[in-house]
Amino acid sequence: MPGLDRKDTRFFILIVAATLLMPFILQPFPEGSGMAQFNAGYPDLMQRFVIFGIFAMGFNILFGLTGYLSFGHAAFLGVGSYATVWMYKLLGFNVVPGLILAVICSAIFAVVIGYVSLRRSGIYFSILTLAFAEMSYRLAYSVLTPITNGETGLQVYSNDPQVLMGPGSPESTHFFGLEMASSYVMQIGGWAFTFNFGFYFAAAIFIAMFYLTMRIFRSPFGMMLRAVKSNQQRMNYTGLNSRPYTLAAFVISGSYAGLAGGLLAAMDPLAGAERMFWTESGAVVLMTILGGAGTLLGPVLGAGFIKYFENIFSKINDNVLHGWFAWMPDGLEDFMVAIIHPFVGKGWHLTLGLLFMAVVIFLPGGLVEGGQRVARIFRRRDKKAPEGSPEEQAAEQRNPGPAE
């Protein structure tokens, strides 16, 4: 790939393959089996994986590289959604103008907020971004109702102009005639794999964005951002003005969020102010940290992880639990169900909170660091392999260092 070395190219191809094969990978259990509820291969969830992957990836460009912890990123998500739905209302259901406007609007928004907020750093920056996001949220509910449609949420009505709507245009969101909702279901044995156009559209954008992020991470610009994180003062002393770099990072990351918001509206032509609420900003922070801030893959993993648990864990109720422990003696079964009950179903947030605390305490690098630690254990085992074996050579390649 242009701009990527061999290792990165391999990594990128792996990501592309994993993304495109998601309908297979996430559907490991046959339909109707007891484990089928753990399948995540349905379009709605897969779309969320890639869209929130983009959101978290963008947040990571700001937080992971420069260390500026923004607590108001959901504002850009909301702006993107509103912009896209407005394009539906004015032009028609083609998503392209909407997504373009979403990126432009959120970028402009990010320039304004970033210009003001980046005058301060540390917790003051967090509070400033939080204040801006809360203001957007509250205004969207009150004064800006003509633009945002208040609590009802912005949606397309039949009397909207939609000037580009021809007689034959689809009545739902589409990409030049290909409808987002259209799916093809493939039955193989007991398995049903759903291929949804909306998912593949979002996945294509995700892959493009991942490539862009990779280039940013490996570029001199990315290096500059890392320098801001490690020692901004020193950077200033050397005569570099770091503000343009941080502002650029803020705007880029805001546009990612806007694009994600636009994609959310592309999958479901609705936009509501609740997308701007600060808990949503908190969620993207959780995703990034959980996965591993400052790494390429981490935020994406974190986003997938949280969205998966949100959808799957919250569906486990007492009946399902009783089904699992049916093989135990009655008393023990009830006991197990009673123990697990608070952590699943409606209480899955408790699991999320505990998990999140555990990650921050024990694995500050997130899931990626966890994976690396596990990998290191395996590498040590590699070392014990007989000399000159292929394993050892591979281990040497992966972990070049002074010979023992």
Judged by the rule CB under 8 A, the positions of this chain that interact with another protein are 67, 69, 116, 119-124, 126-128, 130-132, 134-135, 138-139, 141-144, 278-279, 282, 285, 289, 342, 347, 349-350, 352-354, 356-357, 360-361, 364
Closer residue to another protein, CB minimum distance, 33 or 236:
236
Query: What is the CA angle 327-328-331, rounded to 5?
Result: 140
Structure tokens at 49: 């994986």
Write down the least CB distance from residue 144 to another protein, Å. Answer: 8
Write down the least CB distance from residue 120 to another protein, Å. Answer: 6
Residue 198: its H or E element:
helix 197-218
Write down the least CB distance from residue 345 to another protein, Å. Answer: 11
How far is it, in rounded angstroms, from Cα 319 to Cα 37? Answer: 13
Write down the least CB distance from residue 346 to another protein, Å. Answer: 8
Write down the least CB distance from residue 341 to another protein, Å. Answer: 9
Closer residue to another protein, CB minimum distance, 104 or 131:
131
Write down the least CB distance from residue 112 to another protein, Å. Answer: 12
How far is it, in rounded angstroms, from Cα 299 to Cα 309? Answer: 15
Closer residue to another protein, CB minimum distance, 87 or 130:
130
Write down the least CB distance from residue 335 to another protein, Å. Answer: 17
Closer residue to another protein, CB minimum distance, 52 or 63:
63
Closer residue to another protein, CB minimum distance, 136 or 213:
136
What is the gyration radius of the CA atoms in the chain, in angstroms? Answer: 23
Beta bridge partners of 154: 271
Closer residue to another protein, CB minimum distance, 81 or 148:
148
Query: What is the CA angle 91-109-274, rounded to 5?
Result: 75
How far is it, in rounded angstroms, from Cα 301 to Cα 292? Answer: 8
Contact 37, 30 (CB under 8 A): no
Closer residue to another protein, CB minimum distance, 105 or 352:
352
Closer residue to another protein, CB minimum distance, 249 or 352:
352
Report CA torsion sign: 195, 197, 199, 202. Answer: positive
Contact 301, 121 (CB under 8 A): no
Q: CB-based burial of residue 177 (10 Å sphere; 0-12 exposed, 13-18 middle, 19+ buried)? A: exposed
Phi (first) and psi of residue 360, to 5 degrees: -65, -35
3-class secondary structure per residue, 278-330: HHHHHHHHHHHHHHCCCCCCHHHHHHHHHHHHHHHHHHCCHHHHHHHHHHCCH
Contact 37, 316 (CB under 8 A): yes
Write down the least CB distance from residue 138 to another protein, Å. Answer: 4
Closer residue to another protein, CB minimum distance, 262 or 366:
366
Contact 76, 257 (CB under 8 A): yes
Write down the least CB distance from residue 306 to another protein, Å. Answer: 12
| Amino acid, single-letter form, for residue 365 | G
